[in-house]
Amino acid sequence: MSQESPSRRFQRRVVPAALIEATPDAGGLGYWILASPMLGFLAWAWVDVFAHFSPLPWYWVDALLAVPVFVLLVVLPLGYLAHRLVTGLPGLFQHAGWDVQPLEPVEPDELYLVRYRYQARHRAPFSWSRLWLRAAQGWVYLEIAAILVGGVLMIPLFFSATEFGFGR
């Protein structure tokens, strides 16, 4: 058995890096598909509430009016805000929404062993297509958060249900 000298201990190298805003493929279609269960449920609930309070007697007209209002008042703002929150804290969310560009050479065998310290963030210029991409990414982040929160909240619900005799 050989003992390693203290000088040969494993040390993570810190590499300065720039964060460049990631651009999803296919116009963010994959993100919209991932977010569609949550968006579909919220749209359905929104249309029903909208139709309930609408003075119009035709449900289909209410639905045609409610969907664009839902997109403008809920989908775009909440998706964009979620995207800004997640990309605003890259250290906490493991650089989600960013492409990491090392500013020093990194060997292929140490690619996953280095610790990146970002020096600057470079966001893409604002455009309507970029707003839709950011909203799509934000809704995926919201859906992931809902799944994680739901999983954590199910634990006490399970124990309270079994305590009262359910599931036996």
Question: What is the tens place of the pLDDT at every residue in 94-118?
Answer: 888 888 888 999 888 887 888 888 8
* Distances 43 to 48, 58, 66, 156 between C-alpha atoms, Å: 9, 18, 9, 29
Residue-level pLDDT at 6 = 55
Condensed to tens digits (0 to 9), the pLDDT of residues 150-160 reads 989 888 888 88
Residue type, 124: A
Condensed to tens digits (0 to 9), the pLDDT of residues 14-32 reads 999 999 998 888 888 999 9
Q: How confident is the model at residue 167 (pLDDT cuts 50, 70, 90)?
A: low
- What gap in Å lies between CA 44 and CA 117, rounded to an integer? 43
Residue-level pLDDT at 9 = 64
* pTM (predicted TM-score): 0.79
- What gap in Å lies between CA 49 and CA 66, rounded to an integer? 9
Condensed to tens digits (0 to 9), the pLDDT of residues 36-73 reads 999 999 999 999 999 999 999 999 999 999 999 999 99
- What gap in Å lies between CA 35 and CA 62, rounded to an integer? 24
In degrees rounded to 5, what are phi and psi of residue 96?
-65, 135
Condensed to tens digits (0 to 9), the pLDDT of residues 113-140 reads 888 888 888 999 999 999 999 999 999 9
DSSP-assigned states of every residue in 42-61: HHHHHHHHHHHH-S-S-HHH
